């Protein structure tokens, strides 16, 4: 009886092992994030777009969907192009918010906000994988770069969702 | 009585000023073995392949960051220092990368291209406050010594690392952050489309390197169209 129990436990553990594998196989060979453009009237410094770019790359590395996270303008082998994607974006709106409103009214009144239009394309044929529109908000008492952190997080989440949906549709 | 109060007040002011000066002195960090980090690429970046095998010679690396203390990368909590200047670190790493792919020319004369590196930023920069933001920016002037023509190639590397509370962990994260940003910048340069474009524009095929013997002597040159 005891032997049977032990055998069953071992069988369960062995069956569950593939699911516990730490690293899933990367779905894309590489991803390239580009510096996002700023629409006219968006008062954000070039350092902000640099930071957004860095955060986006950090989030893409964490996502483990890609074999390699490339820097902007890196050469990609022609053979790898079909399984490589490029992320481009445009910051369309930025409101710097009001500390006074935030302090007096509260309930997110006077918060900073930023809208970003993102396009995720396949490198080989430029077909659009997803084009999420991101809207992030943060307290004006925090640095504006907090918005970049949140935006990068949301872009990668949208990308994950798009990939999941495509896999489910197949 | 009044003079006593004045003397007492003066003493208090002097004590406050001396305390302030000692705090300011203590704020200035000094490099020690405990707060010094060694930035080095874990493995050399493999440069991209070009149409023909090329040799590069690293002529010079110049710091253009305008930073008075280039080795101080993190000021709070007694500071974190680099063990070498960013110029030395960059020169060594770039040479190693080129050497690892047999693309480093031993001397200037045997090189197909000369590289002059200008460093604009090396270390940490302003972040959201929730993490460390490492950034390395450089511009490389690629010169063909045979034609004398040159082009500038810009490259940048960034990295994000989480903050820490303990000094030991802060040091570890800062080192990791700068290492990654530096590796990223070298990768961006050596594997970038900009370098490929510059080489394509500047490179001359080996057979056309020989000096032209077809230049006509001065007497054979066309004199110009007669006027009238």
Nearest CA in chain B to A77: B48
Average model confidence (pLDDT) for chain A?
84
Q: Is the pLDDT confidence value at A20 over 70?
A: no
CA distance linking residue A126 with residue A132, whole number of Å: 16
Chain B: nearest CA to A104, how far in angstroms?
Answer: 25
Give the rounded percent of residues in chain A with a pLDDT score beyond 90: 22
Q: What is the CATH number of the domain that holds A63?
A: 3.40.50.10610
pLDDT digit string, tens, across residues A117-152? 999 999 888 888 888 899 989 888 888 888 888 899
Query: For residue B178, which of B37, B32, B8, B1 has the smallest C-alpha distance?
Result: B37
Q: CA angle, A157 as apex, A152 and A161 as ends, to 5°? A: 150
The reported pLDDT for the residue numbered A91 is: 92
The reported pLDDT for the residue numbered B136 is: 94
Structural domain containing residue A140 = 28-169
Give the rounded percent of residues in chain A with a pLDDT score beyond 70: 86
CA distance linking residue B178 with residue B132, whole number of Å: 9
How many domains is chain A built from? Answer: 1
Nearest CA in chain B to A58: B160
Chain A interface includes B183 (CB < 8 A): no
Is A11 a member of any domain?
no
Query: For residue A129, which of A156, A150, A153, A149 has the smallest C-alpha distance?
Result: A156
Cβ contact, residue pair B192, A146, below 8 Å:
no
Higher pLDDT, A5 or B109: B109
> Contacts of residue B159 in chain A, CB cutoff 8 Å?
54, 58
pTM (2 d.p.) = 0.77
Is A116 a member of any domain?
yes
Is A2 a member of any domain?
no
> Contacts of residue A57 in chain B, CB cutoff 8 Å?
158, 160
Contact indicator for B109, B146 with CB cutoff of 8 Å: no
Task: Look up residue A107 and give its two tokens.
Answer: 């309930």
Taking the CA of residue B70 as centre, how many other CA atoms within 13 Å lie in the half-sphere pointing to its CB?
18
Is A13 a member of any domain?
no
CA distance linking residue A146 with residue A135, whole number of Å: 13
Q: What mean pLDDT do residues A53-61 have?
A: 91
Cβ contact, residue pair B127, A145, below 8 Å:
yes
Domains of chain B: 57-204 (3.40.50.10610)
The reported pLDDT for the residue numbered A24 is: 53
DSSP-assigned letter for residue B212: P
In A52-91, the residues whose Cβ lies within 8 Å of chain B are 53-55, 57-58, 71-75
Is A17 a member of any domain?
no
Q: Is the pLDDT confidence value at A25 over 70?
A: no
The reported pLDDT for the residue numbered A67 is: 87
Q: What mean pLDDT do residues A59-63 have?
A: 89
* A131 three-state secondary structure: coil
Q: Is the pLDDT confidence value at A170 over 70?
A: no
* A92 three-state secondary structure: strand
Tell me the ipTM for this assembly.
Answer: 0.74
Distance, CA of B171 to chain centre: 21
Higher pLDDT, B123 or A3: B123
Nearest CA in chain A to B50: A75
Please, what are the averages of pLDDT over each run of 10 residues along chain B (228 residues)? Answer: 61 58 62 88 89 91 90 87 93 93 91 94 83 92 92 92 84 91 93 92 69 45 43
Is A54 a member of any domain?
yes
Task: Look up residue A165 and give its two tokens.
Answer: 């949906």
DSSP-assigned letter for residue B213: S
The reported pLDDT for the residue numbered B9 is: 64
In B32-51, the residues whose Cβ lies within 8 Å of chain A are 48
B80-82 and B72-74 strand pairing: antiparallel
The reported pLDDT for the residue numbered B210 is: 47
Is A4 a member of any domain?
no
Q: What mean pLDDT do residues A99-126 have?
A: 89
CA distance linking residue A162 with residue B140, whole number of Å: 39
Chain B: nearest CA to A144, how far in angstroms?
Answer: 7
* A166 three-state secondary structure: helix
Contact indicator for A102, A139 with CB cutoff of 8 Å: yes
């Amino acid at each position: 009886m005891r032997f049977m129990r032990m055998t069953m436990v071992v069988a369960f553990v062995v069956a569950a092992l593939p699911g516990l594998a730490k690293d899933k196989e990367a779905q894309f060979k590489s991803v390239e994030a580009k510096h996002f453009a700023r629409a006219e009237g968006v008062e954000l410094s070039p350092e902000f777009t640099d930071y957004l770019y860095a955060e986006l790359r950090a989030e893409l590395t964490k996502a483990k969907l890609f074999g390699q996270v490339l820097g902007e303008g890196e050469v990609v082998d022609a053979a790898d192009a079909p399984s490589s994607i490029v992320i481009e974006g445009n910051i369309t709106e930025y409101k710097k918010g009001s500390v006074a409103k935030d302090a007096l009214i509260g309930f997110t009144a006077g918060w900073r906000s930023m809208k970003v239009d993102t396009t995720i394309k396949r490198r080989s044929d430029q077909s659009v994988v997803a084009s999420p529109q991101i809207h992030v908000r943060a307290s004006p008492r925090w640095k504006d770069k907090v918005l970049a952190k949140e935006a990068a997080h949301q872009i990668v989440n949208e990308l994950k969702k798009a990939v999941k949906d495509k896999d489910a549709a197949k | 009585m009044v003079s006593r109060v004045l003397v007492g007040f003066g003493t208090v002011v002097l004590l406050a000023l001396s305390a302030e000066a000692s705090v300011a002195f203590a704020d200035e960090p000094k490099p020690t073995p405990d707060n010094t980090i060694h930035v080095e690429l874990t493995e050399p970046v493999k440069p991209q392949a070009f149409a023909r095998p090329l040799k590069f010679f690293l002529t010079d690396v110049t710091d253009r960051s305008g930073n008075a203390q280039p080795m101080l990368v993190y000021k709070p909590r007694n500071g974190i220092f680099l063990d070498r200047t960013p110029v030395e670190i960059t020169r060594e790493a770039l040479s190693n990368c080129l050497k690892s792919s047999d693309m480093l020319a031993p001397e200037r004369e045997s090189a197909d291209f000369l590289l002059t590196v200008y460093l604009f930023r090396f270390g940490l920069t302003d972040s959201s406050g929730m993490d460390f933001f490492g950034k390395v920016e450089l511009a490389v002037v690629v010169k063909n010594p045979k034609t004398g023509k040159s082009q500038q190639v810009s490259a940048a590397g960034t990295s994000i690392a989480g903050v820490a509370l303990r000094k030991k962990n802060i040091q570890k994260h800062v080192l990791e952050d700068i290492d990654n940003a530096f590796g990223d910048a070298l990768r961006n340069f050596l594997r970038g489309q900009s370098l490929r474009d510059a080489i394509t524009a500047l490179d001359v095929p080996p057979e056309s390197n020989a000096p032209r013997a077809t230049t006509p002597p001065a007497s054979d040159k066309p004199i110009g169209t007669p006027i009238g």
